Structures are given as structure tokens and as C-alpha cells.
A and B are shown apart, each in its own frame.
Chain A
Amino acid sequence: MIRFILADLRRLWLGGAVVVLLVALATALGVAVTLQERSLRLGSARAADKFDLVVGAAGSETQLVLSSIFLQAAPLPLVDGSVLTRLSADPRVDWAAPVGFGDSFSGYPIIGTTTKLISSTTPGFAEGKMFALEGEAVLGAAVNLPLGAEIKPMHGTAETGGHTHAGPAYKVTGKLQPTGTPWDRAILVPIQAVWHVHGLGEEHGHEEEHHDGDGHDHAHEGEENHEDGETHVESEAAEHATPVAGTPAAQPAKPAFALGAASSAHIEEDHHGSIDPDAPVVETFGASTPGLPAILVKPKTIADAYRLRQEYRTGSTLGVFPGEVLTRLYATLGDAKMILSAVAAGSQGLVAAALVLVTVIHVGQRRRQIGALRAFGAPRLSVFTIVWLELFLLVALGIGIGFLIGLAAAQIGAQLFAAKSGVILPVGFTREDMRLALVFLGFAGILAAVPALLAYRQSPATALRA
């Protein structure tokens, strides 16, 4: 019987191939949607895993998470530096670290932060060591630069018309082990260097003992920044309306230096700062700490985390649990997935209907041949089995190939996504997919039974009628 089926399929290989292809594509669509959505959920959850609480200035929660966890460059309003000071001193806080961004180097975001954050959120160094001086940088695992490389920060990104800061350059001292998060693509530098590049906290970082006397400096600095901010407003208000434009008006001392986009009108003179490559890294943040786009906080307990979030959700600050924000995003994603799944299911239904139609017609065309099989003594059950097996084999093959195509598509998607964002998306089949495959196969079995039943009911007498 198998030989007969194979001979038949060989003869009808073109039609068979089209059936397999149709089924494979329809299956792949559904499988890819499921796999992609799942991997995106898992991958982003893993990326946010290390970050318990993020505090930023009042604004969009989603944007705060996207910028700080996923390092998506976007202009964020700044939170006052004193918030970091307060958080660092808070007994409920294990550690709090600033995150400063806005610059990039050959497509990699440059993130200003602290050694504490790096050592707490990464598995350690693959080579080299932590930065110790202001002019040193540590690379995420996915940054393709050698130790000792020179990094000239560019304001904004190349795609958005950024420009290279004239003076400063960092020297790479170490490379981290992979974390599977967007931070793998980051170039990590001391936060003070970011401030200094942008002409902030000039007097602050170098000598802490000047602390008491720098009131004037700060006033002055505020003024400068104010101007800086207004330059932004004038030159960019048209294109980058609300976040940037709104901030200086409301909080004049907080320029939006965390810019995803910098226009050419944004002249270098506005950043009159430069880094002192040999200055030691200082990680105590006094009252004069400049504004920050985001602060990552590691609370000591879960209760502390909730209390801190509550406290920092008032007024000008915004505390969020990245996990919670992501859950909300997933809900949106879930809706999108549902729509995509419905589309996939619809296409599968269409393919199934088309297959039934085609095979019923096919069986009709082979009425006499099927009748002849019966006439020569093939049992009815054999006829049923032949027709059923032929279609079932084709559809099952299509489903199998479809799962592989779906997997491949999801994997390619995940790779593209990882290359762009650094988030490792774990693509893989689970028990749930196994169930889906079984459901598909079961459905194929029922589908194949339709023409098989027709063949089963075929009278052998038809073989004789010419």
C-alpha cells in the first residue's frame, strides 16, 4: 500500500508540493507569531530582571523603562540630582545608580553610570577591568571594539544627525561578560564623564571638598544650562516638540541633555565641557549632582521597593517597576498577538477549505480509478486508508516544514532584534507548541477523512462505465 501511495504521490508531485507549501506557509505564519511573541516576552522580561525600580522625572513610564532598560534613545525630562543623593542615603536602598545617556559611538549607546551598577547587574568581566578614571570606558559584551580602543562620543546618534564631541575620548579598559540585555551593546563610562562632556557638574566632580563653596558655581551653571536648554528649544522645538521643549520651561535648571536626536543647530559651543581623562572616578553624589534622566534603584526588600516607588511617584519624580510596565506592554502586545494569531488562523482555515475543495475534486476526477481499485478487490478500508494517508502525509509534512519555517523565521527575527537592541530573545518550542502541533495533526486527520470518505463510498461499478 505504501508503495502505491508513494507511486501516486510521485506522479502527482507538483500538486503535492503545492499542498505541502500551502500548509507549510499557513502553519509557519501561526508558529512564527507564537514563537516571536513568546520570545519577546521572555527576552524583555530577562532584560528588566536586574532592574527592580527605576526613578525618573515625571513623564511617560513606558518611555522611562524603554530608555533606561532598553536604552532606546529618546529625550527624557531630567530628574533633579538631589533625588539621587537622597536615594543613595536612604536606608531602604541597597544601591542607587545614575544612568546618563544621549551620546553614542559607532551606533553603540554611551551610558554614564557607576561601578556599583556594573558590578551588580553583570556577571563580571570577560577581559580587562572596571574603569577607574574619568576617561576610561567598559564595553558591553556585544560591543565590537578591542581593549584600549579610543571612543569619541557623538551627541545623539549618527542616524539622527548627531555630531561628534570635539574634545573628549574614552579609552577602553574592560569588556563585560554577556548579560543578554540591551546593556550588552552599551559603552559604559563614569557618569561624571557624561556630565562633563555636556558641561554639567563641572566643578563638582573634581574636588568634593569644594562642596560647600560651590553655590555660586551652581547658580552660574544653572544659568548656562538654562541657555543651553533654550538653544534646544529654539532650534529643535519644531521637530522635537513636547518633552524637550516642555522641560526647560517648567524646570529651567534641567536641560534635556539626554537627547536621542540632536540637530545640527545644536552647536558644540553649547557644551563647553570636556572630560579630564585622568581624574579619578568619584561616586558619591552630593547635593550639587546635576540632573539625570534615570536612576536605577536596588531596594533592600520587596516591601521597601513598594514603599520607595510610592514615595517617588509624587510631584516631579516617577518611580516605576520595569516589570510592571512591561506587563502592561505585554497586554498591548498580547492584543497584537491575538490579532496576528487570528489572521494566521484565518489563513489556515482558508488553506484547509481550499485543500478539502481540491481533494474532493481530485477524488471526483479519479472516481473510475478508485472504482477500479475496488472492482479488482481492494477492500473499502484500503481505499479509505490510501486516500486518507496520501492527504494526511502531505499535510503532516507541510505542518512539519511549517514549524521549521516558523522557527527559522522567529530565530531570524530574534537575531535581527538582538543585533539592533541587544535583547537576546530566547526562541524555542515548548510543550504548548507540541500541543499545537498535535491539534494541527488531528485537524489534518479530520480534513483528510473528507475525501477519504468520498472514496470509501465510491461504487466499484463506476470503474466499468466509460
Chain B
Amino acid sequence: MLSLKIENLAVSFPGLTAPVLAVDHLEIAAGSGVALTGGSGSGKSTLINIIAGLERTRAGRVFWGDQNFADLSEGRRDRWRAANIGLVMQDFHLFPGLSALDNILLPARLSRVATAELVKRAHVLFETVGLKRPEQHVETMSRGEMQRVAIARALLRKPGVIIADEPTASLDLESGEAVGDLLLSVAADAGSTLIVASHDQRLVERLGRRLSLKGGHIVGDTQAGEMAA
């Protein structure tokens, strides 16, 4: 339940004359669902990195609620992200050798915030995402199941924002659809702001707002209603 406001953002890499991403103004309302589309080199990944606080904001301001990422040190940005942003990635990034439940709890444990309450929540989430065996080791799961575990992990600390980077790209059609459903429903249930970067047309269409990027600029910003119209 956090709103995003970006002002005068410019991301450039040394050696490149043009910035890879330049966003003068962008606002995303709290609780809304936004799709990010664009080919490779469009600046999509950079935008995800910036709004997830994975990369430092050097020029411009990025507000989540009242919090400006540009003001935060790397360590504090990590902490803020851990508490407020749930990340779901194309490659799941589950850690083999650990059970599904341990994977869900791993980031919280490494941050030393895994209370008994949180462990209980992990169990509940495990069922919410439609899985049965919390002790199953992740390497024995199907890809669709793995992404469900990853979604449960993203939700553990009740983040105000869920950012998903190509969550269905490495799944087959059927499990991709199921994962898409799951993402939309959990975000709606929690009231979290959902930002999904995706090529998956059917997933994109189900989100309320669509931002298209090209050459580091936002070239399209449409509401689902307008599309239909």
C-alpha cells in the first residue's frame, strides 16, 4: 500500500552518452497494478532495479510513500526493501538444499526478524499459494511450484509493494497462467501495489495500467479501460 513517485530520474552508465533510463515524472497509485513492457534495452530492467532499490539513484528522486531512495545508504536501502518490497523473479532464486518453508523464511532469518509469528505466517502463506508439503526440498519441485514458493517468500513480511520481473517467462503456459492468477489475487487481497515487468501478453492485459518503455523513455501509459475502449 505504497504509492510511487519518480521525479527527474536519469540513469546513465559511464561511457554512454545517452542515459539508459530517463523518467521525468511518474506516479503509481497505492494498491494499483501496473505492467511494464518493452524490449531488451528499453530500460525496463533498470527501472525495476531503481524502484526496487537494487541500484542507487544518482540523479532524480524516487519516492515510495514518503521515503526517497536517493537519500538512503545501501545498507538502509536493503533494509527498507526487505521490509517493504516483495520481489518475484524469473529465475525464482530459491536455494537448493533447503525445504520450501525454509526458503520462504530465509531472507527474514538472515535479517534476524523471523519471529514465531512470522514462521506461522509462512505456514499460512504456504497454503495460500496452493502448496501441500512445507518440508519438501525445493529442488524436487516443479517450476510452477517453485514460483509459488517464491511468491510466498515475497509476501512473508506483508510488503506494501510487490515487484515481479518476468514471473511467468520460465514457466509453461498452464503454470504461467496459474502463477499470474496467484500474483494478482494475493496482491489484491493484501492491497499491495503490484508492478510486473512481463512479455506475457495475457498477464499484462489483466493489470489495470500498462507502461511501455523504449530507449529508456516511457512511451506509453494506458489504463486497461482505455485499451478496451
Interface residues of A (CB under 8 A from B): 1, 3-4, 7-8, 10-11, 368-369, 372-380, 382-383, 386, 459-461, 463-466
Min C-beta distance of B197 to chain A, whole Å: 9
List B contacts of A375 (CB < 8 A).
52, 54, 81, 87, 89, 93
Leading 9 A-B pairs by shortest Cβ distance: A377-B82, A7-B97, A372-B93, A378-B110, A376-B107, A461-B54, A382-B110, A11-B97, A377-B107
7 A-B pairs whose Cβ atoms sit less than 8 Å apart in the complex: A4-B109, A4-B110, A8-B95, A368-B93, A379-B110, A463-B89, A464-B54
Chain A residues within 8 Å of B55, by CB: 459, 461
Total chain B interface residues with beta-carbon distance under 8 A: 32
Task: Contact check, B89 vs A4: say whether CB atoms are below 8 A apart.
Answer: no
Min CB–CB distance A363 → chain B (angstroms): 15
User: Which A residues are CB-close (under 8 A) to B91?
Assistant: 368, 466
CB neighbours of B79 from chain A (8 A): 377, 379
Residues of the A chain whose Cβ atoms lie less than 8 Å from the Cβ of B108: 377
B49, CB-defined interface residue at 8 Å: yes
Q: Which of B52, B87, B95 makes the CB contact (< 8 A) with A4?
A: B95
Q: How far is the CA of A350 from the CA of B107 in the complex (A)?
A: 36
Contacting pair B106 A4 (CB below 8 A): yes
Q: Are B97 and A380 within 8 A (Cβ)?
A: no
Chain A contact residues, majority secondary structure? helix
Say whether B148 faces chain A, with CB atoms less than 8 Å apart: no
Given A459-B55, A463-B89: A377 and B83 interface contact (C-beta under 8 Å): yes
Q: Which residues of A contact B165 (CB under 8 A)?
A: 464
A378 pairs with B89, CB closer than 8 A: no
The answer to whether B48 touches A376 (Cβ under 8 A) is no
Query: Which residue of chain A is the closest to B170 with respect to CB atoms?
Result: A466
Known: A372-B93, A373-B107, A464-B89. A379 touches B98 (CB 8 A): no
Contact with A along B45-87 (1 / 0, CB 8 A): 1001100101100000000000000000011001101110001
Evaluate contact between A463 and B93: CB separation under 8 angstroms: yes
- Docked CA distance A11–B137 (Å): 12
Given contacts A373-B106, A376-B107, A463-B93, 14 further A-B contacts (CB under 8 A): A7-B95, A7-B98, A369-B95, A376-B82, A376-B87, A376-B93, A376-B106, A378-B107, A379-B110, A380-B74, A460-B54, A461-B49, A463-B89, A464-B49
Contact call B89/A372, Cβ cutoff below 8 A: yes
Q: Knowing A375-B54, A378-B111 are in contact, say whether A465-B98 is a contact too (CB < 8 A).
A: no
- Residues A379 and B75 in contact in the complex (CB < 8 Å), given A3-B102, A4-B110: yes
Q: A376-B87, A380-B75, A463-B89 are in contact. Are A4 and B107 (CB under 8 A)?
A: no
Q: Within 8 Å CB of B210, what residues of A?
A: none
Q: By the criterion CB–CB under 8 Å, are A11 and B96 in contact?
A: yes
CA distance A369 to B138 in the complex (A): 15
B209: chain A residues at CB < 8 Å are: none
Chain B nearest CB from A227 CB (Å) reads 85
* Complex Cα spacing A376 to B48, Å: 14
Tell me if B97 and A10 are in contact (CB < 8 A): yes
Q: Is the CB of B111 within 8 A of A379?
A: yes
State in angstroms the CA–CA spacing of A396 and B165 once bound together. 40
Given the complex of chains A and B, what is the CA–CA distance between A373 and B49 in angstroms?
A: 15
CB <8 Å contact, B78 and A380:
yes
Residues of A within 8 A of B74 (CB): 380
Which residues of A are found within 8 Å of B111, using beta-carbon distances?
Answer: 377-379, 382
Chain B contacts with A in 129-166, Cβ cutoff 8 A: 153, 157, 165
